[in-house]
């Protein structure tokens, strides 16, 4: 499937930081500034020359300093003469000449005396104590963020701290989603006695958006090849990067997706349950992924095939974490097909959430994971390690 999506060449766009969350960085961000930008104090206290605290050590292991003008954060201090202590606030630049900060809690008196008064500070201060050095976090010119990284709050914050107001991110692929079948109606609409509500568009839209894809259209398509063909032509004008459909791909007499896209497409049964019948095609030159119609089949197909392909091709930002965990209870696999069960992972063991039926959406909604059971004839006893994909 990644092959079909290979042409989703990542485009780049520039977004302000407030729109950057979850996006994927398109280029390395070279630090235009060092962090810290200047030497500054890590504590509210007194900036001194550390050597003075050794030279002048007197009674009670402390040294006397003459207090000078305080240095608030945001203000540029003058140089610090020997024997002087400048009251300094957290984040304020270190006065030239100063090389250590003594927290106010260690001062005698434990206060900021007026300029000209004396303060006693513990002797033997180490140069660099409570000083945040320019460039100790990032040096100007170094890569602060890497292309391909997903933008998290900390990464967006780092860009902001570097004075960068907007970032070059990969443009989100644009997708159009189709739900198919005469029986399917939109939630909120009137439902006939043989009809059901469209769950798949909601599922696939959410999965696509979670994976960093922009859904630019979503439509219900009846079992009518002409109507579907016309719908596709209209949607091709939206210049999507991807079409995704659910339903209409199996062995029935009214498989509208298959009818329209099978010429030139590939419709197969993969050895996975749920999600057996699958199709890939090109429509108006755009990759078209045809997922099966049962809601849990559509959901699982996306997780097993579409999300990994998107991640591989465009670095989709929501790749799932996976782990290997022991079954809490025995499970019977299918003899010739991989079975993907909706499951509950409690941090220690994995147990099944409902049966394997691909219509069981409420059970899927209870699950927080998928458990992958490889094909086999023998029951898997409790404790068997299986692959677990974490869904939330
Ligand atoms: N003779 C065979 N029949 C079926 C096979 C098979 O191999 N041979 N495969 C079964 C499997 S497995 C699946 S999965 C489905 C796939 O069928 P389609 O992709 O053609 O999907 P539909 O027939 O359109 O619908 C199947 C099922 O899902 C319901 N559905 C469809 N769309 C939605 C939607 N948007 N929201 C909620 N539910 C939806 C639909 O009403 C059907 O119940 O085929 C099996 N049959
Ligand atoms: O394999 Mo189908 O996708 O079970 O319902
Ligand atoms: Mg069908």
**Domain end residue (candidates: 70, 105, 132):** 132
pLDDT for residue 4:
75
Q: Residue 376 falls within a domain, yes or no?
A: yes
Q: Which residues of 82-112 are buried (b: 16+ CB within 10 A; e: fewer)?
A: eebbbbbbeebbbbebbbbbbbbeebeeeeb
Nearest CA to ligand 2 atom 1: 274
pLDDT category of residue 57 using cuts at 50, 70 and 90: low
358 CA from centroid of ligand 1 (Å): 9
Smallest-distance ligand from the CA of 178: 1
User: What does the mean pLDDT of the chain come to?
Assistant: 95
| pLDDT of 5 | 78
Whether the CB-CB separation of 114 and 67 falls below 8 Å is answered with yes
* ipTM > 0.95 (yes/no): yes
CA of 330 to the centre of ligand 1 (A): 29
In this structure, the answer to whether residues 28 and 72 fall within a common structural domain is no
* 93: in domain: yes
What pLDDT was estimated at residue 11? Answer: 87
Residues 298 and 331 in one domain: no
Average pLDDT over residues 48-53: 96
CATH code assigned at 149: 3.90.105.10
What tens digit of pLDDT does each residue of 186-233 get?
A: 999 999 999 999 999 999 999 999 999 999 999 999 999 999 999 999
Same domain, 245 and 158: no
280 CA to centre of ligand 3 in angstroms? 16
Residues with CB under 6 A from ligand 1: 179-181, 183-184, 196, 198-200, 246-252, 255, 274, 276-277, 292-295, 297, 358
pLDDT per residue over 119-154, tens digit each? 999 999 999 999 999 999 999 999 999 999 999 999
| 339, pLDDT greater than 60 | yes
What is the largest distance, in Å, between two alpha-carbon atoms of the chain? Answer: 99
> Is residue 5 domain-resident?
no
| CATH for 336 | 2.40.340.10
Nearest ligand, CA 339:
2
Q: What confidence category does residue 246 fall into, taking pLDDT thresholds of 50, 70 and 90?
A: very high
Ligand 2 and 356: CB distance under 6 A? no
Q: Are residues 110 and 185 in the same domain?
A: no
Q: What is the CATH number of the domain that holds 227?
A: 3.40.980.10
pLDDT at 322: 95
- By most ligand atoms within 8 Å of CB, the mutation choice from 251, 267, 268, 276 for ligand 2 is 276
Q: What's the confidence (pLDDT) of residue 319?
A: 80
Q: Between these two residues, 263 and 58, which has the higher pLDDT value?
A: 263
What spacing in Å lies between the alpha carbon of 323 and ligand 2's midpoint? Answer: 24
**CA 338 – ligand 2 centroid, Å:** 12
Distance 325 CA to ligand 1 centre (A): 31
Percent of the chain with pLDDT over 90: 91
Query: 233 with 260, same domain?
Result: yes
Ligand nearest to the CA of 253: 3
Q: 291 CA to middle of ligand 1, Å?
A: 10
**Best of 250, 296, 304 to mutate for ligand 1, by most ligand atoms within 8 A of CB?**
250
Q: For residue 193, tell me if it sits in a domain.
A: yes
pLDDT given for residue 9 in this prediction? 64
Band the pLDDT of 170: cuts 50, 70, 90: very high
Q: What is the pLDDT of residues 9-32, one digit of tens each?
A: 678 999 999 999 999 999 999 999
* pLDDT for position 313: 77
**Between 312 and 290, the higher pLDDT residue:** 290
Question: Residue 180 has what pLDDT?
Answer: 98
Using the atom order of ligand 1, give the atom closest to the CA of residue 250: 20
Give the nearest ligand 2 atom to 276 CA: 1
Same domain flag for 119 and 159:
no
Domains of the chain: total: 4
Do 195 and 230 share a structural domain? yes
Query: Would you state the pLDDT for residue 311?
Result: 86
pLDDT for 56 equals 56
Percent of the chain with pLDDT over 70: 98
Other C-beta atoms within 10 Å of 30: how many? Answer: 14
Whole-number Å distance, alpha carbon 232 to ligand 3 midpoint, is 19
Least confident of 209-218, 267-276, 312-321, 346-355: 312-321
């Amino acid at each position: 499937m990644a092959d079909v999506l290979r042409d989703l060449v990542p485009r780049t766009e520039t977004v302000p930081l407030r729109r950057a969350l979850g996006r994927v960085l398109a280029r390395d961000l070279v630090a235009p500034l060092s962090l810290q930008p200047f030497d500054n104090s890590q504590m509210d206290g007194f900036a001194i020359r550390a050597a003075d605290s050794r030279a002048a050590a007197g009674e009670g292991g402390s040294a006397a300093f003459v207090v000078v003008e305080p240095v608030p954060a945001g203000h540029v201090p003058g140089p610090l003469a020997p024997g002087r202590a400048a009251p300094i606030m957290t984040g304020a630049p270190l006065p030239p000449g100063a090389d250590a900060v003594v927290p106010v809690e260690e001062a005698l008196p434990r206060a900021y005396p007026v300029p000209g008064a004396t303060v006693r500070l513990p002797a033997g201060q180490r140069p660099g104590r409570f000083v945040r050095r320019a460039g100790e976090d990032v040096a100007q010119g170094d890569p602060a963020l890497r292309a391909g990284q997903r933008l998290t709050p900390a990464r967006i914050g780092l860009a902001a701290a570097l004075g960068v107001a907007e970032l070059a991110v990969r443009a989100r692929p644009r997708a159009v989603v189709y739900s198919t079948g005469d029986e399917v109606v939109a939630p909120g609409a009137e439902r006939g006695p043989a009809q059901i509500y469209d769950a798949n568009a909601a599922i696939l839209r959410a999965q696509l958006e979670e994976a960093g894809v922009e859904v630019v259209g979503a439509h219900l398509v009846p079992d009518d090849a002409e109507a579907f063909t016309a719908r596709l032509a209209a949607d091709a004008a939206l210049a999507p990067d991807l079409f995704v459909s659910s339903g209409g791909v199996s062995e029935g007499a009214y498989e509208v997706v298959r009818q329209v896209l099978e010429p030139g497409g590939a419709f197969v049964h993969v050895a996975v349950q749920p999600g057996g019948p699958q199709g890939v095609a090109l429509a108006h030159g755009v990759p078209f992924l045809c997922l099966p119609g049962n809601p849990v089949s559509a959901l699982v197909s996306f997780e097993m095939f579409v999300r990994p392909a998107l991640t591989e091709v465009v670095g989709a930002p929501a790749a799932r974490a996976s782990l290997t965990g022991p079954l809490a209870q025995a499970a019977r696999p299918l003899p010739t097909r991989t079975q993907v069960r909706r499951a509950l992972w409690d941090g220690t063991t994995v147990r099944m959430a409902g049966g394997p039926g691909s219509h069981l959406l409420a059970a899927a909604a209870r699950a927080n994971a998928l458990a992958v059971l490889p094909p086999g004839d023998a029951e898997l006893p409790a404790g068997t390690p299986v692959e677990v994909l974490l869904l939330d």
